[in-house]
Chain A
């Protein structure tokens, strides 16, 4: 079963605006990761946040994690047309061995120039 659910399913913004995507999950986790996918092919790892962390930054990306609410958000600041892609959260459930990931359904982000 899918661990993560994301909202919104689709988001359309203007270049320069911020984009916020949310992810909820069901069970306790070791960590949560965000991935980006262009054109339905390979995924690119963006950022990993551990279960004992609350916030993490990487360039224009900011990720928060609230384990009490079992939710995470990804904020992309000052968006660019090149940020247009699908974004997925993925969780590694506590008790899993091997790091297999359970993915959310994804948010399709469109940034208009």
Chain B
């Protein structure tokens, strides 16, 4: 596709339920990043994948959060037993390489609301 796509665009869930958020990066981009944007915390790095290397999970806020990237392309961010503080916009980005000089291209985000 032309850009990074994310689905769903909006997700409303009840506290305690699990959710899955999907990201389709730009074709050929080997690096994929997840960020979270919430009112109190601004934009926070969560996790990134580079090719077949082990992901950098240093930004995940708790063990309820996990992510995988299948076949080096599509990624799924899973939040188990959602809490109200998980409400935020979850942004995915991809870049050609996971390197500091590479521009990251962002998707439109998934707005998650936990009731």
Contacts and interface: CB of A to CB of B under 8 A. Distances in A.
Interface of A: 2, 30-31, 33, 35, 40-45, 48, 50, 88, 90, 92, 96-106
B72 interface: no
Given A40-B37, A41-B89, A41-B109, A101 B42 contact: no
Contacts of B99: 98-99
B104 A45 contact: yes
A105 B42 CA distance: 6
Which of B31, B33, B89, B106 has the most chain A CB atoms inside 10 A of its CB?
B106
Contacts, number: 70
B103 A45 contact: yes
A42 B42 contact: no
Interface string B48-79: 10100000100100000000000000000000
A106 B97 CA distance: 26
A27 to B, nearest CB: 13
B112 interface: no
B102 interface: yes
Contact of A92 (B4, B37, B97, B100): B100
